[in-house]
């Protein structure tokens, strides 16, 4: 079925991030299940042209490419012959041209990829001897994001061809956009106010949380009732949403205000940014006007540098459960039916790599919420964590009944 889908429907392919299930759920939330299909363990196909995909708002995808062709074989020599036909047809500006080649999936060795890249250069020169061509050198099967951006491979002066494998099926594409890691770093590390004690929410994860909460809600106001230093609000502002933030600590409201003021100075499109910010306890606060979207990282409890004892875990999970359950009960009556929420909840990793989840997940329906089901991802797999972390963020996507 994958082969049929590739040949008849796919126009774009996205390489997913470090935790691909989050990227898949994000794409399904934004574009609908019928437009998205997993391809292997780390990619997704869309039946939409690349220019219709707002790649800059995707936190869970690292690369966007237009599909050129598909092949029912993982034989490298067959793939190389196809690439040699494609390379001379790539649009090129006059002057120097840089070509890159990235391979995803276990297809062939690095030395074969390097040799193929040189043959592609020769194929371009054979068609146009006056064309100056250089190769973006592979240190691994796939070029890094920094290399793609630095070498201009998504501009008229360069191109990156990608080869992606799923079983015995291959997609060949041309990269259209690459995740701008420097821009993410600037928004994360350049903010005037940061506080490690309240957690360091990565901007990419904030984007995923927003995208999981914002299906069919363009132009609405987004509420973060645990706004902290304002990372969710800054990413929502860049997506064009009105933003409304509250936090228990007045200091966090001050930090958010300063960070959003700084952000508005970095982006011309945010010159008129006017966030609504208030101090308030999420378990008792009244939000006016009622928000159209809720996206936040909730209370995660204390961080751990090792596996907590059973007694400590019971204590911390009980506190987190009470706070987050109190929040959901409080906001329920303030939301219209159908309002969508995405909330980052804590889940604690155990020595066997299983997770302990909050008890409130078992009482969502009686609290008046429906949990969103995804076709391509199981809801229990929406976990964000690094290998050295003991507290994961579990992304809960629900609607108010």
- The residue with greater pLDDT, 208 or 8, is 208
Say how far apart CA 163 and CA 328 lie, in whole Å. Answer: 45
Q: Stretch 284-308: mean pLDDT, rounded?
A: 94
Domain limits of the chain? 2-179, 184-400
pLDDT of residue 200: 83
Write down the pLDDT at residue 220.
Answer: 84
Whether residue 56 has pLDDT greater than 80: yes
pLDDT, residue 3, reads 42
Q: Would you say residue 1 has pLDDT above 60? A: no
Of the pLDDT bands very low, low, confident and very high (cuts 50, 70, 90), residue 387 is confident
Give me the long-range contacts of 264-273 (CB less than 8 A, separation at least 24). 264/237, 266/186, 266/187, 266/190, 267/238, 269/238, 270/237, 270/238, 273/237, 273/243
More confident residue, 318 or 3: 318
Q: What is the pLDDT of residue 199?
A: 60
Class of domain 184-400: alpha beta
Instruction: List, for residues 320-364, the tens digit of each pLDDT value.
Output: 999 999 999 999 999 999 999 999 999 999 999 999 999 999 999
Pair 396, 371: CB distance under 8 Å? yes
Tell me, what's the pLDDT at 10?
84
Closest CA to 13 of 77, 69, 79, 83: 69
Q: How many CA atoms are closer than 13 Å to the CA of 275, on its beta-carbon side? A: 32
Residue 4, pLDDT > 60, answer: no
pLDDT at 8 over 80: no
* The pLDDT value given to residue 6: 47
5 has pLDDT over 50: no
Residue in this structure with the two tokens 């437009």, named with its chain if needed: 35
Of 239, 231, 230, the residue nearest 211 (C-alpha): 239
pTM exceeds cut of 0.85: yes
Q: What is the CATH number of domain 2-179?
A: 3.30.2130.30
pLDDT (tens digit per residue) in 133-189: 999 999 999 999 999 999 999 999 999 999 999 999 999 999 999 999 999 999 999
Give the Cα separation of 207 and 300 in Å (integer): 19
SS3 for 46?
strand
């Amino acid at each position: 079925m994958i082969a049929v889908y590739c040949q008849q429907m796919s126009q774009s392919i996205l390489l997913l991030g470090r935790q691909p299930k989050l990227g898949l759920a994000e794409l399904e939330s934004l574009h609908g299940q019928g437009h998205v299909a997993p391809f292997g363990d780390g990619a997704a196909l869309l039946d939409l042209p690349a220019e219709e995909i707002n790649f800059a708002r995707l936190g869970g995808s690292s690369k966007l490419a237009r599909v050129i062709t598909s092949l029912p074989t993982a034989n490298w020599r067959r793939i190389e012959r196809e690439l040699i036909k494609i390379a001379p047809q790539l649009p090129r500006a006059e002057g120097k041209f840089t070509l890159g080649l990235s391979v995803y999936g276990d297809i062939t060795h690095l030395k074969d990829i390097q040799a193929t890249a040189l043959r592609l250069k020769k194929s371009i020169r054979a068609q146009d001897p006056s064309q100056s061509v250089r190769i973006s050198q592979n240190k691994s099967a796939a070029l890094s994001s920094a290399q793609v951006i630095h070498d201009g491979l998504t501009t008229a002066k360069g191109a990156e061809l990608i080869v992606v494998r799923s079983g015995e099926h291959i997609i060949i594409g041309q990269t259209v956009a690459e995740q701008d890691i420097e821009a993410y770093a600037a928004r994360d590390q350049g903010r005037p106010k940061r506080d490690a004690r309240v957690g360091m929410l990565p901007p990419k994860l904030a984007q995923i949380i927003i995208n999981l909460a914002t299906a069919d809600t363009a132009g609405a106001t987004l509420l973060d009732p645990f706004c902290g230093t304002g990372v969710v609000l800054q990413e929502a502002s860049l997506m064009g949403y009105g933003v409304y933030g509250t936090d228990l600590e007045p200091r966090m409201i001050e930090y958010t205000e300063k960070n959003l003021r700084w952000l508005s100075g970095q982006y011309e499109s945010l010159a008129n940014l006017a966030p609504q910010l208030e101090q308030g306890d999420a378990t008792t606060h009244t939000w006016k006007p009622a928000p159209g979207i809720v996206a936040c990282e909730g209370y995660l409890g204390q961080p751990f540098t090792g596996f907590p004892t059973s007694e400590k875990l019971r204590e911390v999970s009980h506190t987190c459960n009470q706070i987050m359950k109190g929040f959901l009960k409080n906001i329920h009556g303030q939301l219209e039916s159908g309002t969508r929420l995405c909330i980052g909840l804590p889940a604690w990793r155990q020595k066997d790599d299983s997770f302990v989840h909050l008890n409130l997940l078992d009482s969502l329906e009686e609290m008046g919420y429906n949990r969103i089901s995804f076709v391509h991802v199981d809801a229990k797999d929406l976990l964000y964590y690094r290998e050295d972390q003991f507290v994961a963020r579990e992304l809960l996507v629900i609607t108010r009944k």
